[in-house]
Amino acid sequence: MSRPTPLRDVHESLGATLTDFAGWLMPLRYGSEAAEHRAVREAAGLFDLSHMGEIFLTGPQAGEALDFALVGHLSALTPGRARYTMIVNERGGVLDDLIVYRLGDEEFMVVANASNSEKVGNELKIRAKAYDAVVEDRSDQYALIAVQGPRSQEILATLTDADLGGLKYYAGLPGLVDGRRALIARTGYTGEDGFELFVANQDAVPLWHAITAAGEPYGLKPAGLSSRDTLRLEAGMPLYGNELSAELTPFDAGLGRVVKFDKPGDFVGRSALEAVKDDTPKRRLVGLVARGRRVPRHGYPVTKDGAVVGEVTSGAPSQSLGKPIAMAYVDTGAESGLAVDIRGSHEPVDLVELPFYRRNK
C-alpha cells in the first residue's frame, strides 16, 4: 500500500488522479496536465511535495559532517542559504541529488528525493558518526507545499509578512504563512520563480486551502506530478533514476561543478572523482527536439546512421516548444543526423543544448 500524504483527502475532493510514486500515493494530475503546466509558466501552480525527505543534522560539527558526507562545501554555507549538491558512493556514483539548507550555525536540513530518502538518511548517519552532530530523519513530521510560477510572490505576500522580496533564489527563512510556522524557501523544480513551504503535517490542509483562496484571483491551479515532470524537463533539470544513477558520476551528468575538491579534508568519493574529473565522458547529457509528433521516451535508443549512439533518459511533449522533447545521453561527438528509435521507427531529432526553456528574469 502506498503511503498517503496529509493532503490526500484534499486531492480526492479535487478529483485528482492519484498514482503510486516512490511508495507514496501522489496526485498525478487534477484535470488537464497541459493546463497545469501552462498555469505554472504563466501564473502559478500549487504542488503537494510531501513525499520528499527531510533529514536534519544538528550539532557543532554538522557542517563538517556534511562536508565529509557530500560532494559540496556545506560548512561554508551562510545560514539562511541553500545549495544543490549530491551524495555519492566510494566509486563516485550518484546516490541522490539533494538540496541542503543551512537553518542556523549548527543546524542543516537535507532534502532528499522520496525514492532515496531512507537510503540517504541511513548513509548520513553512518558518515556522520565521527563528528559531533546528530542526524535525524524527520520526513514523517513535515509536509512540503510548493507555489511555483511568476505570480507566486504576489500570492504568498497576501498570506505572510515575511520579506519575500528580499529572499534570494536558493535561500530560506522561517516565517508565518497564514499564521502557521513554515520554512519559506525560494527553490523549486519547474524553471520558474517560486517557493517551497516546509510545514508541520497538521498545517498542510489549512495552508493548502489558504493558498488556493489567495491564488484564485491570480490564476493559481493545483498541479500534479505529471506537470512537474514536464516543467522540470523543459528546464533541463535532472531526475534521479532517469538522468542520475549510482552508475554515473556527477561529471558524467555534466554536473561536475557541484563537486568541491578545494574544500578541506577528505569526503566520500573524493579519490574516485579526482581520477575522472578531467576525462572526456564517453557520453554527455543533451537535449533532443523531435521533428515529428511522436514522443521519445525513457529507455529508447538514440541512433545515427542506424547505429545506437545513445539513450533517452526522459521525454515528453513540450508545451513551451510545441514539440516532443527529450533528455538523452549521447556519444560525445555525435551531434547531427540523429534519430530516436520509437518502437521500431527511426524518427529524426535535433540535438540542442540544455535547457529547453529559460524564464525571463
Partner 1 sequence: MSNIPDDLSYTKEHEWVSGIDDGLTVTVGITAFAADSLGDVVYVQLPDVGTNVEHGDSIGEVESTKSVNEIYTPVGGEVVEVNQAVVDDPSLVNSDPYGEGWMFRVRMEGEPEDLLSPQEYTALTSGES
Residues in the site for partner 1, rule: CB under 8 A? Answer: 17, 28-29, 32-34, 226, 230, 293-295, 297, 316-317, 324, 343
Report CA-CA distances (Å) from 204 to 178, 179, 181, 305: 11, 12, 11, 53
Contact 259, 273 (CB under 8 A): yes
If one counts every other C-beta atom within 10 angstroms of the C-beta of residue 353, the result is: 8
Contact 147, 211 (CB under 8 A): yes
| Rounded distance between C-alpha atoms, residue 229 and residue 147, angstroms | 15
- Which neighbouring-strand residues pair with 198? 144, 183
CB of 316 to partner 1, least distance (A): 6
By C-alpha distance, which of 19, 15, 359, 18 is closest to 221? 15
Determine if residue 118 is labeled as part of a ligand binding site: no
Pick between residue 13 and residue 78 the one whose CB is nearest to partner 1: 13
CB of 21 to partner 1, least distance (A): 12
Residue with cell 493532503: 7
Pick between residue 4 and residue 256 the one whose CB is nearest to partner 1: 4
CB of 9 to partner 1, least distance (A): 18
Q: What are phi and psi of 20, to 5 degrees?
A: -80, 130
CB of 223 to partner 1, least distance (A): 13
CB of 329 to partner 1, least distance (A): 22
CB of 241 to partner 1, least distance (A): 15
Contact 84, 263 (CB under 8 A): no
| Rounded distance between C-alpha atoms, residue 133 and residue 152, angstroms | 36
Pick between residue 33 and residue 137 the one whose CB is nearest to partner 1: 33
Pick between residue 253 and residue 316 the one whose CB is nearest to partner 1: 316
Contact 183, 109 (CB under 8 A): yes
Report CA-CA distances (Å) from 57 to 132, 137, 342, 354: 10, 9, 46, 34
Annotated binding-site ranges:
196
Annotated binding-site ranges for substrate:
196
